[in-house]
Amino acid sequence: MKEIDQVKSSKPFFEKIAKIRVKIADLRAKKDEIRNEMAPTNKIINSLKGRIDKVKSEESVFDKDKQLKQYDLTNVRVQIDKVMEKKRDLITKKRQAKEDFYGRMCEYEIQQCLIKDIEWITQTKLMVVEKNERQSKYDQERRERNETRKKLADERKKKDDEYKAKQEERRREQEQKRKEWELQQLE
């Protein structure tokens, strides 16, 4: 979903880039038109330069025509400079739009890496918690088994002690009886 949102959010930048490209193409077309229009002007200018040189040498009436042609040439150069400035501005905007787009793409990639790292950490944490739970369960079962063994051992010891006590008591009784019997026999 985030990737789709990223692509959707970058759509305006692609549209801006497309508009800028259209503007650049229009400005290039205008520039080419101006150049084409200048070709005859250049021819005229070159022919006029020749005339001007002749006129300069003769100092004639062509000074006004010369000034008008220079004025036209200056105006054409100013127009070319304006078109070139617009072209530079559009290229700069295009470059900024690209940088913004790629910056956002880098941020997206970093964000995806962080998400993957967080998922990995979460999975690792769950594995550690499960392992600790299993270990504590195993320890609890071992303690219970040890307590059961200890109780059984205590019961056996108690039974053995009771059995030994009974044996000892029987032996004493038998000895007592034997002593009594021997005393009876002696009497």
Summarised one tens digit per residue, pLDDT across range 67-106 is 778 888 899 999 999 999 999 999 999 999 999 999 999 9
Q: Which residues does 45 contact at the CB level (< 8 Å), separation at least 6?
A: 69, 73
> Using 50, 70 and 90 to split pLDDT, how confident is the model at 141?
very high
> Using 50, 70 and 90 to split pLDDT, how confident is the model at 26?
very high
Res 7: pLDDT: 66
Res 81: pLDDT: 93
Of 23-37, 59-73, 107-121, the least confident: 59-73
* pTM of this structure: 0.36
Percent of the chain at pLDDT > 70 equals 91
Q: Which residues does 104 contact at the CB level (< 8 Å), separation at least 6?
A: 6, 9, 10
Res 122: pLDDT: 94
How far is the C-alpha of 70 from the C-alpha of 52, rounded, in Å?
12
Res 1: pLDDT: 58
How far is the C-alpha of 20 from the C-alpha of 63, rounded, in Å?
44
53 pLDDT higher than 80? no
2 pLDDT higher than 70? no
Q: What is the DSSP string of the chain?
A: -HHHHHHHHHHHHHHHHHHHHHHHHHHHHHHHHHHHHHHHHHHHHHHHHHHHHHHHHH--TTHHHHHHHHHHHHHHHHHHHHHHHHHHHHHHHHHHHHHHHHHHHHHHHHHHHHHHHHHHHHHHHHHHHHHHHHHHHHHHHHHHHHHHHHHHHHHHHHHHHHHHHHHHHHHHHHHHHHHHHHHHHH-
How far is the C-alpha of 87 from the C-alpha of 25, rounded, in Å?
9
More confident: 187 or 115: 115
- CB contact at 8 A, 4 and 98: no
More confident: 128 or 72: 128
